Amino acid sequence: MNNRIVLHIDMNAFFASIEQKTNPALRRRPVIVCGNPETRTVVSAASYEAKPFGIKAGMSIGEARRLCPQAVFVIGNLAKYVDTSRRIFNILRRFSMKTEVFSIDEAFLEITDTCPSYDAALKVGQSIKKAIVTEMGLTCSVGIGPNKLIAKLASDMQKPDGLVLVLPEQVGLVLEDLRIKDLCGVGRQMEKHLHALGIYTCGDLGRYPVSILRRHFGIIGEILHNMGLGLDSTPVHYSEDEPPVKSMGHTHTLARDTADIAEIRRNIFSLSEQVAVRLRHDNYCGRTVCLILRYSDFFTFSRHLTVDYFLDSGYDIYQQAWKIFTRIDWQGRAIRLIGISVSNLVRKTRQLYLLEEFTNTQAVDRVMDRINEKYGEFRIMRAAMMKSERRLVQPILARGLWAKTFTKGNL
DNA sequence: TCTGGGGTCCTAGGACCC
DNA sequence: TCTGGGGTCCTAGGACCC
């Protein structure tokens, strides 16, 4: 058989379901998982009881409250979700080691080499669902198809608790009337462009001359054309050889917009420090520092600076970020969001460590890391960071854990 | 009802080198 | 002194994903 067999597993209302599982009082009630409501936050996830009210991820808390006043708002606990996620992926690996972690609640499995037929694949899908519900008390939707594109579309067809198989010979029929925005990779802008060309469904997309798509969208044009035909040759990556991390960063929306330069500076320092802790924890260092700013009118921009040495110290990152800030024509505008990220990363080898001559700053970093590893994250920190908003630290702890889990590809 | 946070990939223009 | 072309790196920003 030439056809591949790919499964896509998509957990149902993942964060909200975990909250309902751990707290029986939340069951059968509309649950909305969000960030700390004291900060400016949005909806992270909605339970199936909340979805009919129109609650969607990314929506502001105010709007969610207006649409569904009776909803229970729960502050998300990312550490708990990461832990659950890890257990689920371990279950999946029992069915195929060719398991690719796609996000915290999604994975692809390839069983082409071990599964004789699509009928047998359906049984695998059922077994996976049973294992996850029995061992984790959570439901998922499983999609099965001849490639990742179709498997993902299939898992979306039946929610919650679905199991959908799309056979190769059914692909054309399934795609014919499917809206283009249901394709992974077609967002609002792309949808608008495609509509302007008279393309509304995947069927339209598949029939459209590839040469014109290529002219309009470059490389993406070809990919779009293939998507319209249901073709996708991208492999399912073993989670062991996931691509290396390209960048690491943190952004933070301030509790209130500010033009206070001391506060801006503290936040830049604090974010630099947090990024550095993650870099060192995962043995990375990088040469390019990026400062991201969002003004109160939501105008967002970034500026990069590349140096000819590798950075993993919060103070060094801060120095570059501050240099970038001083070069910006800021004019005292109120700032809503600040972000720091480091790219041009390399993994530090043992040899690199041994060759490294520590500066005083780096020596202090190492000592702080060791203390924090032993007694808990951010138990010790630089004074400049202490002055920054205390509550900024808490979400970072959870994010750090996320980062640890996902950037190391050790799920 | 005002719009989070973590990422990746692609494009395009400029600088620089050979 | 003026010129072309290829390759690479850097930077900024847009679009997209969950």
**Residue A369 belongs to some domain of the structure:** yes
**Residue A208 belongs to some domain of the structure:** no
How far lies A317's CA from each of A321, A387, A399, in Å? 6, 18, 19
Count of H-run helices and E-run strands, chain A: 16, 12
**Residue A344 belongs to some domain of the structure:** yes
| Residue indicated by tokens 């996000």 | A103
In contact, A212 and A222? CB cutoff 8 Å: no
**Residue A296 belongs to some domain of the structure:** yes
Q: How confident is the model at residue A39 (pLDDT cuts 50, 70, 90)?
A: confident
Domain limits for position A270? 247-403
Name the nearest CA neighbour of A29 among A85, A68, A84: A68
CA of A121 to C1' of C2 (A): 68
Share of chain A above pLDDT 90, in %: 80
Query: A288: which strand partners?
Result: A306, A343
CA of A357 to C1' of C16 (A): 41
Q: Measured from the CB, is A295 under 7 Å from any atom of strand C?
A: no
CATH number of the domain encompassing residue A325: 3.30.1490.100
Residue A207 has pLDDT above 80, yes or no: yes
Question: What is the number of alpha carbons within 13 Å of residue A312 lying toward its C-beta?
Answer: 22
User: In strand B, which positions have an atom below 7 A from any protein CB?
Assistant: 1-12
CA of A344 to C1' of C11 (A): 13
Write out the E strands in A47-123: 72-75, 99-103, 106-110
A300 CA to centre of own chain = 20
**Residue A348 belongs to some domain of the structure:** yes
Nearest nucleotide (C1') to alpha carbon of A254: B4
Q: How confident is the model at residue A389 (pLDDT cuts 50, 70, 90)?
A: very low
Instruction: Report the pLDDT value the prediction gives residue A249, as an integer from 0 to 100.
Output: 97
Rounded Cα distance, A193 and A199, in Å: 9
Query: 0.95 cut: is pTM over it?
Result: no
A318, amino acid identity: Y
**Residue A83 belongs to some domain of the structure:** no
Q: Measured from the CB, is A317 under 7 Å from any atom of strand C?
A: no
Instruction: Kindly report which listed range (A44-48, A75-79, A130-134, A358-362) carries the lowest average pLDDT score.
Output: A358-362
Residues 6+ apart with CB under 8 A from A130: none
Q: How confident is the model at residue A390 (pLDDT cuts 50, 70, 90)?
A: very low
How far lies A95's CA from each of A31, A126, A128, A133, in Å? 32, 11, 8, 15
- Is A106 annotated in the active site? yes
Helix (H) or strand (E) run with residue A164 in it: strand A163-165
CA of A308 to C1' of B18 (A): 22
Nearest nucleotide (C1') to alpha carbon of A338: B5
In contact, A244 and A369? CB cutoff 8 Å: no
Name the nearest CA neighbour of A4 among A152, A168, A184, A206: A168
**Residue A40 belongs to some domain of the structure:** no
Q: Measured from the CB, is A184 under 7 Å from any atom of strand C?
A: yes
CA of A26 to C1' of B7 (A): 31
Residue A346 has pLDDT above 80, yes or no: yes
**Residue A183 belongs to some domain of the structure:** no
Q: How confident is the model at residue A377 (pLDDT cuts 50, 70, 90)?
A: low
The one catalytic residue in A19, A49, A106, A273 is A106
CA of A284 to C1' of C17 (A): 24
The residues of A between 199 and 258 with beta carbon within 7 Å of nucleic strand C are none
Total structural domains within chain A:
1
Nearest nucleotide (C1') to alpha carbon of A40: B4
The residues of A between 259 and 288 with beta carbon within 7 Å of nucleic strand C are 287-288
> How does DSSP assign A285-303, residue by residue?
EEEEEEEEEEETT--EEEE
In contact, A186 and A166? CB cutoff 8 Å: no
